[in-house]
Structure 1
């Protein structure tokens, strides 16, 4: 069985609904995980998304910011939205795939949107950065105690952990998303949770991988000052099933694009 899971920070699902449809048509994933849907629950475009051929949708949203959603060809056995840092800010939802998913039945798919952290990498003066570190630390504790079963963790984790996950390691060490404390925290939670970084398992350093290019750069493709903020991790029992991790950079050139691009992990079960 071939299983494709795509993750994408869409930066407003209603604004880019047509782009979601185009990406689904071109990529053809079995499961699409969206972050930053920026949509309250009562306005979420369920029917529009189902019309693309994904009848099973789990989502939790807020007006104007955050929000995560999972679209699937397969039914869910369960849906579990979870609050973090004692806030109901729609940053995590998990689903367990039902028996109709065949060999993937019982797999848990986690979709995360980690806080960006603001501009100043100092938790003493920047509450947004403090919140980000708290969120990552809670993820670390959660990962150590989660139930041992096949699982996939994807999303905008807002950290580029490795030297070649950014355009300039030296210049970005004091820039939020690539500071040493963020890198250490993310890598610790990944290792302690038994997660495998899919992209780097198949494409190790020093090859550069980016999934985000700032809106502030009008010639983003020429400058190519990107960061790898979007990730696809697998539990260790799925390591042998991973066949590819593809970054769909072409979407960054679409009209009014998200600053993030989709990332697709393909598994052979």
Structure 2
């Protein structure tokens, strides 16, 4: 038997509760990590999850913006909420699974439209967020950890629909790619998406709402990731994206990613 963990930027859990239920009924992951829930903790819609057996719910939310939640069929302990942006925004939840593995669910800032911290403070905040995460990552000595969520960076050329066209577009700029690489090297994280689906095969998890026909144009980016510390690489047995979710009723602009583990 395997243990499955899913991650999905849902872009408002209350507005899209119907497709979250559809996903849980069809895919039945053991744990679901949501980002951009856009709801305060006290208003999180727990009833549907509990009815489906997801009785362990940890949230870090705020009104109308950001927010993360980790929902599970198994107990979650050692809850942690880090403020890596140093401004109080709800962008992280860490828990420990019954196996003893840490699971950290993160929603990294998008960074605005201009890739220059002097002209665009949001971009600087994004880079600083990564910097604090990198410092945290370096402390994970002998700590089996899964890091997942919306990283808001597509690092490889095959992670975007057109590498040259997006070099100056926030999410694929060289400075962001280099910053993400520093985070990855801090704990020798293994990128499971590319471990199982090797480059240069195109792999996307996000398509803009602006496209009249997202599937036909296929102008996607791989913004959503699941990483593991090296001691867990052998425990990961499969990884997939759930692309049909992008066409469900009132969809998120992101799709779920799912990894199966043998622990």
TM-score normalised according to structure 2 size: 0.98
Give how far 1:77 is off: 2.4
Give how far 1:222 is off: 0.1
Cα separation, 1, equivalents of 2:190 and 2:196: 11
- Give yes or no for the alignment of 1:230 onto 2:195: no
Q: Which residue of 2 aligns with 1:220?
A: 214
The one of 141, 144, 147 equivalent to 2:138 is 144
Q: Give the SS at the match of 1:233.
A: strand
The one of 189, 193, 200 equivalent to 2:183 is 189
- Give yes or no for the alignment of 1:169 onto 2:163: yes
Unaligned runs of 5+ in 2: none
Give a deviation string over 1:97-126, Cα, whole Å, max 9, x none: 23xxxxxx2111100000000111111010
**Runs of 4+ more than 6 Å apart:** none
The one of 257, 262, 267 equivalent to 2:256 is 262
Give how far 1:219 is off: 0.5
Q: How does 1:107-126 map to 2 (within 5 A)?
A: 107-126=101-120
Cα separation, 2, equivalents of 1:142 and 1:79: 16
Q: Which residue of 1 aligns with 2:82?
A: 82
| Contact 2:196–2:239 (Cα < 8 Å) also in 1 | yes
The worse-fitting range, judged by mean Cα deviation, of 142-151 and 182-191 is: 142-151
Report how many aligned residue pairs link the two structures: 263
Q: Which residue of 1 aligns with 2:11?
A: 11
Q: Which residue of 2 aligns with 1:56?
A: 56
Q: How does 1:34-53 map to 2 (within 5 A)?
A: 34-53=34-53
CA RMSD for the aligned pairs? 1.0
Cα separation, 1, equivalents of 2:236 and 2:58: 25
Cα separation, 1, equivalents of 2:30 and 2:85: 31
Q: Give the SS at the match of 2:110.
A: coil
Cα separation, 2, equivalents of 1:66 and 1:215: 18
TM-score normalised according to structure 1 size: 0.96
Q: Which residue of 2 aligns with 1:132?
A: 126
Unaligned runs of 5+ in 1: 99-104
Cα separation, 1, equivalents of 2:212 and 2:254: 15
Give a deviation string over 1:49-82, Cα, whole Å, max 9, x none: 2122200010110111100000011112221111
Q: Give the SS at the match of 1:83.
A: coil
Cα separation, 1, equivalents of 2:235 and 2:66: 31
Cα separation, 2, equivalents of 1:50 and 1:66: 23
Q: Give the SS at the match of 1:155.
A: strand
Give how far 1:147 is off: 4.5
